[in-house]
Structure 1
Amino acid sequence: MDRPTIDLPSRLLMNLKPWREATTWHIAFSGGLDSTVLLHLLAHLAKTEHLPELKAIHIHHGLQSAADAWPEHCQSVCDALGIPLQVVHVQVQPGASLERAARDARYGAFIEATQANEVLLTAQHRDDQAETLLFRLLRGAGVRGLSGMPRQRVLGKGHLVRPLLDVSRAELEGYANQYSLSWIEDPSNQDRRFSRNYLRNQVFPVLTERWPQAMATMARSAAHLSEAQELLDELAQIDLAQASSISEFDWLGVPSLELSTLASLSAARQRNAVSHWLSALTRLPDSDHWSGWEDFRDAAADASPVWRLADGELHRANGRIWWLSGCWLRTPPPAPEWPDPSLSLALPDNGVLSLTGQTPDGPLHIRYREGGEVMSLPDRGHRDLKRLLNERGVPGFVRGRLPLLYQGEQLLAVARLQGLNGSEQDGWNLHWQPPNEDQGLS
C-alpha cells in the first residue's frame, strides 16, 4: 500500500538532505500536478526549515496554443507562494521524435539555468519510473537503460535531483486535494500517438487492474537494476584502470587506452569497459552496432582501423585506441604567416606553436606534411621524414598536423618530437601545444 500522505514532507526532506548546502534549488515547474505539489511542499517546508534559495523555472515549448496561458498560471502560483519564477521560451527542433526534441530543448534550458553548487529539482515520481522501465524494455534497453531515471546526476555545472521517485502519483493527488491545489492538465497527455501516453492511458490501467502493485514492483525492479549497473560501473573502472597505462604521446591530450589489456577481457567485459569509457565522450551505439568494436579490435596489426560513432571516432595506433572528436577530425587549414617567432602562433584548428631560445636566422614559416619531406640531421645526413616518424612511433592521426618549421625550403624542425624539434647546438626548440578542445559531452 502507498505510504500515508502525512509522510510526504518528511520523506522529501530526507531525500534532499545531501543537497541542503546548495546555494539554490531550481524547481522545474510545468504547472502540472507533480511539479505543483513539489513546489508547494518546498515553499511550506521553507517556512520552518533552513533551505537553499528556491526558484522556479517554467519552459514554454511553443508546441500548442493551450500552452500560451500556462506561464500566467505558473506566475500566479509562484506569486502566492512567494517564489520567483523564470519563464524560458525554447525552440523545439523538428525531428522523428517530437518527445525527444522537446526534452532536448527543455534540458538545454535547464543546463543554462543551473550554475555551480546549484540543483535542479524535477517532480518525476514512482509511476513515471515504472513507465520508463517498461518503455525502455520494449525498446530493448540493457541494464543501464532498465535502471530507469537516476535519483541524481550531473547537469551542466550543477546537479539534477529527482526527490519524488519513491512517491506514487496517488500520494501526490492526495496531497493536492488536501491543500486544494489547482494545476494544469496538459491536453497532449491524452494523445496516444506519444509512446509514454499510450503506456500510461492504455497499458498500465490493464496491468494494474490485474496486478494492483505493478507500479511499485516495477519501480523496485528498476532500483535493483540500478544497483546492478553500479556494480558493472565499478567493474568497468577496475578494467579501465588496468588499460590506462602511460603513453609517450599523452601530451597530445587525446583520451586513449591500451588495446591488449582490453582484448584480454571477455567480450562482455570489453563492451562494459569500453561503453563506460565512451559514455563520457559520445552517444553510445545500440546493440546491433557493437560489431563495429569487434571489427575495429580484430583488424590486422598493420591496419589503421577507424570506428565511427555519433560524436567522434576511435582510431588505433601504437597498440592503443584513441578517441578523436571536434577539431581532431578536421584537416587544419594552412598555417598563417609567423612574422615574429618570438611570439606564440595560434594555428587554426591546431593549437598553439612557440619557439624558445635563440631564433634561427632567415625567414621562417610553418607547413604541414604533404609527403616526400627530407630532413638533415647531425651525424645522420638526410633522412626521409616519414621514416623518422615511423622510428618514433608517431600515431597516424597526428602526423598530418605536426607543425614543420622551414627556413626557406629547408626543413629545420618538427614540433614537439625529441631530437627533431630544434637545435641543441644553437639552443632553440619548437614547442607545440595541440588543440585542447573539450573531448567530452556536456
Structure 2
Amino acid sequence: MSDFTPDRLPTRLAPFASAPRCWIAFSGGLDSTVLLSAAAEVRARLPGELLAVHIDHGLQPGSGDWAAHCAGVCQALSIPIHIERLSPAGPSPGESLEAWAREARYRVFRRLLGPGEILLTAHHQDDQAETLLLALLRGSGVHGLAAMPFSAPLGSGYLVRPLLEWSRGSLAEQARRRGLVWIEDPSNGVTTLDRNYLRQEVLPRLRARWPAVSATLSRSASHVAEAAGLVDRLADAALAEARGARPGSLSVPALEGLDRPLRKAVFRLWLRREGFVVSDARHLDRILDELLPARADANPVVGWPGCEVRRYRREVFALRPLPDPPSSSLRIDWRLGEGVSVLALPSGLGCLEWRPEPEGARMGRDIQVRFGQTSLSCQRSPTAHRRSLKKLFQEAGVPVWLRPYLPMLFLDETLIAIAGVGACLGGTPAPGAAALSWSGHSWERVAPEFGSEIRIRCLDTPP
C-alpha cells in the first residue's frame, strides 16, 4: 500500500456520493488532523457540506484548550465545527474509562447525524490491529474479531473509516510533510489502559519480529469480517421467521425451534438492529438458559448497561432500562375544561392530552392522575361485568413490568380511565365524550413496541 495522500479520499468515499453532509470527527490529534487537512484540500470532490465535530470529554485539565485549538484549526480551514462538552459525571463504578468515553462520543454522533449524512473517523491500520488483539484477548466471537468495518450505520447516517488501509507511520509522514500541528494527548502514554499497553509495549515487539504485523492482522480481521457476514445472512433468514406479534419482539416458540448456535446468532443480530450493545457470552447464555424457558406467568429479565431483555408470555423484548416507576402515593391534579389540555408526566413518561370531540365532553372540574393502583376494578361498559385490573391488564396484553407506569385517571375517588387499557364507567354516564391521548418521546424510548400513542374513550360524568 502506497503512502496516504488527500487524493485517495474521494475514491474511498465514492459509495456515499449522495450524502448531504460529511462530518469529520476531529480530536485534534495527529490522525484526525491529517484527515481534516486532507478533506479540506479535496472538499470540492467530497460528498455534501464539510463540517467537523469535536468532543470535549472533560477528562484532562487542558481539554478546554484542546477544544479551542480545534476551533482555531477549523477556522483557518473555513470548516464549520460543532463542539460538544460532555457531562462531568464520568464512568459509573466498575465501568472502564475507555468504554464510557467511547459510548459518550457515539451518543453525540448518533444524535448529530442527519439522514444519509456520513461521519469520518481517522482510524487506521494500526488501530485495526490493536482492536483485533483486544478482541482476541477478550474472547470475542466473529463479530468482535472482525474489528472495525470500513462503514457501518450510525444513527440516521453512516460511520465511515476511510484510512483503514494506511498505517500510522504513513499518516505521520503526511503530517510532517505538510507541517501540520496537532495535540499530543498525555493519556496515550498511560499503559494501564489496555489499548495503550498494546500500542506501547506489545506491538513494537511484534513489529520487531514481524515488520508487517499491522497489515497482517488487519487482513485477518477482513477475513473474519467476511465470515461474520455469512453468519449474519444465515441469522437474518432465521430472524425473519422468529419475529413476534408485536413490533420489535421475538417469538419464543420460533426461537426454541432453532439450534443453539443459530439462536445465539439471531439474538446478536436482533440486538444490533434494535440499537443495543450486544451482550457478552455470559448474559447471552442467561437469556437462552433462564429467560426463554421461564414460566409463561414469570417476569424474567436479563440486563446489562443500556439494555434489558424481558419476556412476556410467548414473546421477548429488548428495552432501554426502565426508570423507577412513579410512587403509588403520587397524586397529580389536572384541570379539564372545554378546550385541549396537556399534562406532563413524571419519570420521562411523556404527556397526557385531553381533546374534547365535536359532540362535546364538558368535564369542567379537576381529575387526578395516579399510578400503581393495581388492586382496583373497572367496568368497561354499561353491559360489561366489573373486572379486576389484573384481568384487564392481561386481556389488554400489558406486561407485568409496564403496569406500574400506566397513568390512571380518577374523578374524586372513582377510577375513570387507564391509559393503554381503556375507560371505566364512573357512576351514571352523561352524553358526550373526549379522546385522551398518551404520548411522548420518552415512552417511545422505554417501550416502542407498545406504541407511542394510545387513544381511549373517556365518558363524561356529571359535575
Larger displacement relative to structure 2 (153-162 or 67-76): 67-76
Task: Name the residue aligned to 2:17.
Answer: 20
Describe the shift of the 1:344–1:16 C-alpha distance in structure 2 as closer, same or farther (beyond 3 A): same
Equivalent AA in structure 2 for residue 126 of structure 1: Q
Aligned to 1:38: 35
Matches within 5 A, 1:96-175: 97-107=96-106, 110=109, 114-175=113-174
Aligned to 1:4: 2
Measured in 2, the distance between the counterparts of 1:431 and 1:344 equals: 10
In structure 2, what is the equivalent of residue 308 of structure 1? 303
The alpha-carbon deviation at position 144 of structure 1 amounts to 2.0
SS at match of 1:336: strand
Whether contact under 8 Å (1:296, 1:305) holds in the other structure is yes
Q: Deviations over 1:246-278 (max 9, x none)?
A: 35xx7xxxx432221122212222222223323
Please report how far the alpha carbon of residue 167 of structure 1 lies from its aligned counterpart in structure 2 after TM superposition. Answer: 1.3
The residue type equivalent to 1:373 in the other structure is: S
Question: Partner of 1:208 in structure 2?
Answer: 207
- Indicate the SS of the match to 1:149: coil
> What is the one-letter code of the residue matched to 2:159?
L
The corresponding residue for 1:370 is: 374
Pairing partner for 1:55 from 51, 56, 59: 51
**Alpha-carbon separation, structure 2, partners of 1:427 and 1:87:** 53
Please, what TM-score do these two structures have when normalized by structure 1? 0.79
Superposed CA RMSD in Å reads 4.0
- Is the aligned partner of 1:290 residue 2:294? no
Aligned pair partner of 1:317 in 307, 312, 318: 312
1:265 aligns with 2:258: yes
Contact 2:310–2:316 (Cα < 8 Å) also in 1? yes
Deviation at 1:90, TM superposition (A): 4.6
Q: How does 1:388-399 map onto structure 2 within 5 Å? A: 388-390=392-394, 393-399=397-403
Q: 1:212 to 1:433 in 2, by over 3 A?
A: same
Q: 1:97 to 1:51 in 2, by over 3 A?
A: same
Number of residues paired by the alignment?
Answer: 431
Shift of 1:126: 0.9
Structure 1, 301-310 or 360-369: larger mean CA deviation: 360-369
Matched, 1:276 2:281: no
Aligned CA distance change for structure 1 residues 358 and 262 (closer, same or farther; 3 Å) = farther
Alignment partners' CA distance in 1, 2:363 and 2:62: 73
User: Residue type matched to 2:374 in 1?
Assistant: E
Cα deviation 1:91-131 (Å, max 9, x = unaligned): 55444533334444544555565545543322111111011
CA–CA separation in structure 2 for the residues paired with 1:113 and 1:434? 24
> Residue 241 of structure 1: CA displacement?
2.3
Whether the 8 Å CA contact 2:244–2:315 is kept in 1: the answer is no
Q: Secondary structure at the match of 1:290?
A: helix
Structure 2 unpaired stretches of 5+:
448-463
CA distance in structure 1 between the partners assigned to 2:365 and 2:71 by the alignment: 67
Distance 1:92 1:231, change over 3 A: farther
Quote how far apart the aligned CAs of 1:168 are.
1.9
Query: 1:419: how far off?
Result: 9.5
CA distance in 2, matches of 1:385, 1:197: 57
Q: Which residue of 1 aligns with 2:456?
A: none
Q: Which residue of 2 aligns with 1:352?
A: 352
Is the Cα contact below 8 Å between 2:375 and 2:388 reproduced in 1? no
SS of residue in 1 equivalent to 2:302:
strand
Determine the C-alpha separation between the residues in 2 that align with 1:328 and 1:189: 37
Taking the aligned partners of 1:17 and 1:179, their CA distance within structure 2 comes to 25
2:454 is equivalent to residue 439 of structure 1: no
Letter of the 1:55 counterpart: L
Looking at structure 1, the residues matched to 80 and 121 of structure 2 have their Cα atoms a distance apart, in angstroms, of 17
SS of the aligned residue for 1:300 comes to coil
Give 2:2's aligned amino acid.
P
Q: Specify the alignment match of 2:451 in structure 1.
A: none
TM-score, normalised relative to structure 2: 0.76
Give 1:73-92 correspondences, 5 Å limit.
78=74, 81-83=77-79, 89-90=85-86
Which letter maps to 2:9?
A: L
